[in-house]
A and B are shown apart, each in its own frame.
Chain A
Amino acid sequence: MSVKNVLGIIFSNAYDEVLPELTALRTMGSIPFAARYRLIDFPLSNMVNAGIPQVGVITKSNYRSLMDHIGTGKPWDLSRKRDGMTLLPPFDTPSTGLNHGKADALYGSISYITKSGKDHVLLTDCNVVCNMDYEKLIKAHISKDADVTIAYAKGNPPSIENGTELILDENGKVVETGVIDCLSGNVNYSLKIMVIRRTLLERLLHEAHSAQIDDFETIIAKNVKHLRIYGYEEAGFVRVLSSLQAYYDISMELLKADFRKALFTPERPVYTKTSDRVPSVYGIGANVKNSLIADGCNIHGEVENSILFRGVTVEKGAKIKNSIVMQNGFVGENSTLQCVIIDKSAVVKPGKMLCGAENYPVYIGKGIVI
């Protein structure tokens, strides 16, 4: 049994609601992150790096940007005749819905899952940023002969609704699951990355469908006593995007060498769609400190503790501090940005000043002109 026998499923829309600003026009999976990536690049690359040959990407709404990004799966080497990547949009028949919950979404794609013929299915969302060795997770799942293996991290859980706490026995078997509330301290919180036996998944989905349960976590929770469910601790760098503030904080963490090196290791590269831009150009008088910068930028001003995505222009005299400027953003002459998140193609005209706080970043929407 090898990783070749695993089907990967990525939910591109899960938790859209926790980042309403960034997902207004896109899916969670297509949120720009780390100067040149989209969130889906991380789980997708993790799967490819683990040798998972077949990946289905489940979508619900606003997935045009996602389709544009992943295309046929070429950048991840998933454009193949055998296996490869498939986009799974809602399958709307009288008996299925519009993917209200994960169980519903999976049920809509059940024929795809069955047809894959793989022994196990690895399920993941897009709001967990990590460079995780899925191969180890799969191997743990197989060696324990588990029905389900759920990856978890130890510590203060992310403030996200319906977080799941795993209570484990000494062998790492899940004996109980709990719902995380705002009072939960140091717990084993589920990363919602799990491996499950395919035939079991199909059975659970049929049951959920007849019981009209939309939520996949609920089904798992209901079956804790009957199934061999194991926890798998991910001790590496893992961050869960639970809000705009978390997006900002995690982005800023990328400026620290240890987090950056853990996320971008040469052994497990993160793949993304290339855009064939020129290298970034620094002009005379450019002053850049502690910043992460993608290709295609034109920098003539000051940039400090910030992240610039592809094709950002920083004019003379502009000052950008503790901010994130997404693709093709334009920051005009002598304008000042502090603790600001600027979405794609937004324009800050010369001489403007925008200030947020580190615990309350200002967000400027896609294409807005200030």
Chain B
Amino acid sequence: MAVKPECIAMLLAGGQGSRLGILTKNIAKPAVPYGGKYRIIDFPLSNCVNSGIYTVGVLTQYQPLELNDYIGNGQPWDLDRANGGVHILSPYQQIKGTEWYKGTANAIYQNINFIERYDPEYVLILSGDHIYKMDYSKMLDFHKEKNADCTIAMLEVPWEEASRFGLMIVNDDGSISEFEEKPKNPRSNKASMGVYIFNWKKLRKYLIEDEAKEGSGNDFGHDVIPAMHNAGERMFAYQFDGYWKDVGTISSLWDANLDLLNPKVDLDLNDDSWKIYSRTPVAPPHYVGANARVENSMVTEGCEIEGSIDFSVLFANVTVEEGAEVKYSIVMPGTVIKKGAVVQYSIVAENAVIEEGAVVGESPENMADIKDWGVAVIGNGVTIGKGAKIAPDTMTDSDVGGAE
């Protein structure tokens, strides 16, 4: 080994993201498209390279085909390196038998050999579920400065939402005095972001102990971190200020996309000093036709727009024909929206076809009961027939015939 990396990252990308329903039927959650040309995993990967971490293990398990293909040799993120780079780590057969990754901690445990090859001082544990821009090197500086064994990134969430998160009660010096997992009556609004830095030697010891412990869920949040805390290890919380969003549900995915159109939201993807890299499709510039109208939207390469677009995010190679309307929607790559069709308050997955005059989704203002409202979702490759109507708050996974 040439230069020994001080810190390597392990990215947990095996999750199914079941709350995203049909969007994750064939792909893992980190591979879900976001923001016109990205996938969720682009954020932690780009954060790594922008923070100077060039050795990244990506742990995959659920529907890894598309994710593995997307990451490839890591070239779009400058992670095709002779020394380090990105490595896909899937569960593998061992002499004692084959095991799936049982939990987040077990996934790392099964890859101890991988980490040992690099023999790093520190290990950064990440998940592929969030949209945020974060300088991990600053967190590492904090970790070293506090002489910590484990540092957990946290951010202050609104009190009314606090009970949905894993919370920490933090002392004045930044050390953690107590953990609370999704409490009914929160005593803190400092939520864990699922980003951890460990001293590798310590973590290794606890992973082995945790694996031996019967009845352990082999999970960082539930098992390993509490064990370290109870044993009196130095646990610190590192405060992050900035945009951070879990895109685990349809409505949060929809929100997070539309956040890009809100100038008040603190998520600037146009920042040359902190680029978010992605594997981009080969497509010509997008074309906006003579009768088109595009306002307050994001449009990327390969799109051909003749209709009207408002408050929407269009991915590559989307076609919107004349007279079609797209409002408050996310339209993923390759989808065609034909003449006179209306797509509103919806997420349309890749390569779907919305035939002429079809109406997908509904505006919340037109609902008799707002409780029935929600984002309509159209699955991959689905065709919605001529004049068909798709109700709000539904998921459509197979073709829908035209209305007579």
Complex CA gap A325/B279 in Å reads 26
Complex CA gap A184/B277 in Å reads 51
Interface contact A283-B295, CB-CB below 8 Å: yes
For residue A154, which residues in chain B have a CB less than 8 angstroms away from its CB?
none
- Of the listed stretches B13-21, B94-102, B131-139, B286-294, name the one at the interface; the rest are far from the partner chain: B286-294
Complex CA gap A286/B309 in Å reads 11
Whether, in the assembled complex, B299 has its beta carbon less than 8 Å from a beta carbon of chain A, the answer is yes
Which residues of A274-298 are within 8 A (CB) of B?
274, 276-296, 298
Complex CA gap A325/B54 in Å reads 37
Whether, in the assembled complex, A35 has its beta carbon less than 8 Å from a beta carbon of chain B, the answer is yes
For residue A263, which residues in chain B have a CB less than 8 angstroms away from its CB?
284
Q: Which residue of A lies closest to B275 (CB)?
A: A276
Interface contact B298-A281, CB-CB below 8 Å: yes
Interface contact A282-B297, CB-CB below 8 Å: yes
Whether, in the assembled complex, A60 has its beta carbon less than 8 Å from a beta carbon of chain B, the answer is no
Interface contact B286-A280, CB-CB below 8 Å: yes
For residue B177, which residues in chain A have a CB less than 8 angstroms away from its CB?
none
Interface contact B282-A271, CB-CB below 8 Å: yes
Interface size on A, residues (CB 8 A): 35
Given known A34-B285, A270-B284, A292-B285, contact A279–B292 (CB-CB < 8 A): no
B327 to A: closest C-beta gap in Å? 13
Query: Chain B's interface: helix, strand, loop or mixed, by majority?
Result: loop
Complex CA gap A255/B294 in Å reads 17
Complex CA gap A287/B289 in Å reads 11
Whether, in the assembled complex, A74 has its beta carbon less than 8 Å from a beta carbon of chain B, the answer is yes
Which residue among B37, B280, B284, B300 has the maximum number of chain A CB atoms within 10 Å of its CB?
Answer: B284
Interface contact B276-A295, CB-CB below 8 Å: no
Interface contact A290-B289, CB-CB below 8 Å: yes
Given known A276-B275, A278-B35, A278-B37, contact A293–B280 (CB-CB < 8 A): no
Interface contact B295-A285, CB-CB below 8 Å: yes
Complex CA gap A285/B294 in Å reads 9
Interface contact A289-B284, CB-CB below 8 Å: no
Q: Which residue of A lies closest to B289 (CB)?
A: A290
For residue B30, which residues in chain A have a CB less than 8 angstroms away from its CB?
none
Complex CA gap A296/B75 in Å reads 21
Q: Which residue of B lies closest to A263 (CB)?
A: B284
Interface contact B280-A286, CB-CB below 8 Å: no
Q: Which residue of B lies closest to A272 (CB)?
A: B282
Q: Which of B75, B283, B288, B309 contacts A289 (CB 8 A)?
A: B288
Interface contact A283-B296, CB-CB below 8 Å: yes
Given known A276-B278, A295-B300, contact A34–B284 (CB-CB < 8 A): yes
Whether, in the assembled complex, B36 has its beta carbon less than 8 Å from a beta carbon of chain A, the answer is yes
A303 to B: closest C-beta gap in Å? 8
Which residue among B75, B269, B278, B282 has the maximum number of chain A CB atoms within 10 Å of its CB?
Answer: B282
0/1 per residue, B309-345, Cβ < 8 Å to A? Answer: 1000110000000000000000000000000000000
Interface contact B299-A279, CB-CB below 8 Å: yes
Q: Which residue of A lies closest to B316 (CB)?
A: A279
Complex CA gap A46/B299 in Å reads 27
For residue A279, which residues in chain B have a CB less than 8 angstroms away from its CB?
35-37, 298-301, 313-314
B24 to A: closest C-beta gap in Å? 23
Which residue among A74, A293, A298 has the maximum number of chain B CB atoms within 10 Å of its CB?
Answer: A293
Whether, in the assembled complex, A264 has its beta carbon less than 8 Å from a beta carbon of chain B, the answer is yes
Interface contact A264-B284, CB-CB below 8 Å: yes
Whether, in the assembled complex, B261 has its beta carbon less than 8 Å from a beta carbon of chain A, the answer is yes
Whether, in the assembled complex, B270 has its beta carbon less than 8 Å from a beta carbon of chain A, the answer is yes
Interface contact B296-A284, CB-CB below 8 Å: yes
Which residue among B260, B293, B299 has the maximum number of chain A CB atoms within 10 Å of its CB?
Answer: B299
Whether, in the assembled complex, A206 has its beta carbon less than 8 Å from a beta carbon of chain B, the answer is no
Which residues of A256-278 are within 8 A (CB) of B?
260, 263-264, 269-271, 274, 276-278
For residue A271, which residues in chain B have a CB less than 8 angstroms away from its CB?
282
Interface contact B300-A280, CB-CB below 8 Å: yes
Complex CA gap A136/B359 in Å reads 46
For residue B314, which residues in chain A have a CB less than 8 angstroms away from its CB?
279
Interface contact B292-A289, CB-CB below 8 Å: yes
B246 to A: closest C-beta gap in Å? 21
Which residue among A282, A283, A290 has the maximum number of chain B CB atoms within 10 Å of its CB?
Answer: A282
For residue B261, which residues in chain A have a CB less than 8 angstroms away from its CB?
281
Q: Which residue of B lies closest to A79 (CB)?
A: B75
Q: Which of B275, B282, B295, B296 contacts A269 (CB 8 A)?
A: B282
Whether, in the assembled complex, A36 has its beta carbon less than 8 Å from a beta carbon of chain B, the answer is yes
Complex CA gap A277/B270 in Å reads 7
For residue A294, which residues in chain B have a CB less than 8 angstroms away from its CB?
285-286, 301
Interface contact A282-B299, CB-CB below 8 Å: yes
Q: Which residue of B lies closest to A304 (CB)?
A: B290
Which residues of B245-291 are within 8 A (CB) of A?
260-261, 269-270, 275-278, 280, 282-291
For residue B284, which residues in chain A have a CB less than 8 angstroms away from its CB?
34-36, 260, 263-264, 270, 292
Interface contact A276-B276, CB-CB below 8 Å: yes
Residues in B lying within 8 Å of A, measured CB to CB: 35-37, 75-76, 260-261, 269-270, 275-278, 280, 282-301, 309, 313-314
Residues in A lying within 8 Å of B, measured CB to CB: 34-36, 74, 255, 260, 263-264, 269-271, 274, 276-296, 298, 307
Can you list 16 pairs linking A and B with CB atoms under 8 Å apart?
A36-B301, A255-B287, A264-B283, A270-B282, A276-B76, A276-B275, A278-B37, A279-B35, A282-B298, A288-B292, A288-B294, A289-B292, A290-B290, A293-B299, A295-B285, A295-B301
CB-based closest 10 A-B pairs: A279-B36, A279-B300, A35-B285, A264-B284, A278-B269, A290-B290, A294-B285, A279-B298, A269-B282, A288-B288
